[in-house]
Amino acid sequence: MKMKITGILSVAVAASIMVSNVNAKTIKVQASSKSGDWAHKFMTEQYAPKLKAMTGGALDIKVLPTGAVVPYKESIDAVASGILNGDLNAISYFSGRDPAFAVIGDLIAGWDTPEQLQAYCMTGGGREMLQKIYDGTKATAGKIHVIGCSPYSKEALVSKNKITTVAGLKGVKIRSPEGLAAEVFRLVGAAPSALPFSEVYTSLEKGIVDAADASAYINNTNSGMHKIAKFPIYPGIHSMANLQFIMNKKLWNKMSKDHQTALEVWYIAAYTEMRRAADVEDREQVAKDKAGGKITVVDWAQEERDKFRKISVGAWENFAKKSPLAREALNSQLAFMKKMGML
């Protein structure tokens, strides 16, 4: 009799697990990375499955590549309307909505390490500032919940020509997202073009641009950019793209506290581990490229980095003047930097 009961219980448990998996809520999000990129593979292969495991099969997350559902600049509208459940995208892509997105999305040459920006975002007021920006933007007010924000790398700059100084950027056709990055490149005399990351390789190949504010060194390698642009600048001089995790607010409010907490913890863990992994991958790839001799890795002198940062600070202030939210976003970051002894 005991064996029969045990057998019935085993079947019941198995059935319960099957039902749980069938009824799992799939959260569909769109990312800024391309399919096949190191960052996209990290999220889809290593971290997406962890959410399902954390929630006993109740929640699943599908991380779609850039442009899979809507163009990259329209992803927040898709989240607000419910077409997408969420977004894992570069905040600076939405600079055209309010300059505040540019200021919090990528404070060019502002942060020294990804850890510093992640600390600001997750515990220093950055997440709350981004929520305030969304609530203060007409198209998204009351429709978006900010789970968090974080970079995972200080981006390298890919170039077809050897650029070792600020002056060397003059006249260079460079891919740059909208916002502060484009403003800084204009101030140093370069000619920035706003192109999505998915078009960087072909734009370099066709000569539309000669350099690109692209991504982490390992991402640029895996995308084949160093086959064309053989003079990457590493460590980067400029960009540390701040990526967001936002969700449709109605969907978020329907979730249990347990599931909300699971998503928050999952996101922090994912971007902390990705940040560390990207740093290791970057350093290993740089060492290989230096030893191989086919790629010239350029490291700017500190004097030139200081010049670039001074120009960037002027761009910060220019953008801060463009809207009250932009001013507040800059003040929020400067206050955290002072608190942490960075200024």
Residue type, 263: L
Domain 24-154+240-280 of CATH type 3.40.50.300? no
pTM for this structure? 0.86
Query: Is the confidence at residue 66, as pLDDT, over 80?
Result: yes
- Classify each residue of 9-19 as buried b or exposed e, where b means 16 or more C-beta atoms within 10 Å of its C-beta: eeeeeeeeeee
Domain limits, the chain:
24-154+240-280, 157-237+296-323
pLDDT of residue 24: 65
Return the axis-axis angle of helices 324-339 and 126-135, rounded to nearest 10°.
180
pLDDT in tens, 250-292: 999 999 999 999 999 999 999 999 999 999 999 999 999 999 9
CATH T-level fold of 157-237+296-323: D-Maltodextrin-Binding Protein; domain 2 (3.40.190)
Q: Which helix (H) or strand (E) holds 157?
A: strand 157-159
Average pLDDT (295-318) is 95
pLDDT of residue 4: 44
Average pLDDT (137-161) is 96
Give the Å distances, CA to CA, from 314 to 100, 107, 141, 209, 322.
Answer: 16, 11, 30, 25, 13
The DSSP symbol for 235 reads: S
- Backbone angles phi and psi of 233, in degrees to 5: -95, 115
CB atoms within 10 A of CB 296: 12
Question: CATH topology of 24-154+240-280 equal to that of 157-237+296-323?
Answer: yes
pLDDT of residue 11: 38
Average pLDDT (97-120) is 95
pLDDT in tens, 33-62: 989 889 999 999 999 999 999 999 999 999
